[in-house]
């Protein structure tokens, strides 16, 4: 069950970790990524196309086409991927959806959510694809 990110964002994170762990700069087809990660191919293509627009992914069209990282994995942070797919509103808006939620007018979970949100944001801004390459490779190869 997804708590913070959309399924699209989860798949985007997985696909980017796959490209960082397996790719070595080579273009990988959406079909190969989808098969390895057990994600619908059309979904992978759409997600990676949107990440292409953000400048994190390179796409090559044609029979031998596919996707590759457009930047060094050291320069792509998890927060960049989340921002490109889901945006950052989860880090600014009330988790329960109450308008006007603030420290002065908190919702019932404002303080606890604030702690979790801060920790999640710090983790996402401190971890890049290169940091997670080895662990991602172990996880992907276990699929």
Q: What is the pLDDT of residues 63-101, one digit of tens each?
A: 889 999 999 999 999 999 999 999 998 888 888 889 999
CATH number, domain of 111, equals: 1.10.10.10
The number of CA neighbours under 13 Å toward the Cβ of 29 is 8
Residue 28 lies in a domain: yes
User: How much is the average pLDDT of 106-110?
Assistant: 94
Residue 1 lies in a domain: no
**CA dihedral angle for residue 127, residue 5, residue 7, residue 13, rounded to 10 degrees:** -10
Residue 2 lies in a domain: no
Query: What pTM was computed for the model?
Result: 0.89
Domain count within the chain: 1
Predicted local confidence at residue 92, as pLDDT: 85
Residue 85 lies in a domain: yes
pLDDT exceeds cutoff 70 at 3: no
Full residue range of the structural domain in which residue 110 is found = 7-141
Q: How far apart are CA 56 and CA 40, in angstroms?
A: 21
């Amino acid at each position: 069950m997804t708590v913070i990110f959309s399924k699209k964002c989860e798949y985007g994170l997985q696909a980017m970790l796959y490209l960082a762990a397996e790719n070595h700069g080579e273009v990988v087809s959406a079909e190969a990524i989808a098969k390895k990660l057990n994600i619908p191919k059309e979904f992978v293509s759409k997600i990676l196309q949107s990440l292409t627009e953000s400048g994190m992914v390179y796409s090559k069209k044609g029979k031998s086409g596919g996707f590759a990282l457009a930047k060094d994995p050291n320069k792509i942070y998890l927060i960049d991927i989340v921002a490109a797919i889901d945006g950052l509103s989860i880090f600014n808006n009330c988790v329960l959806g109450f308008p006007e939620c603030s420290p002065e007018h908190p919702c019932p979970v404002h303080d606890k959510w604030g702690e979790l949100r801060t920790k999640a944001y710090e983790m996402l801004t401190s971890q890049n694809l290169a940091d997670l390459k080895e662990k991602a490779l172990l996880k992907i190869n276990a699929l």
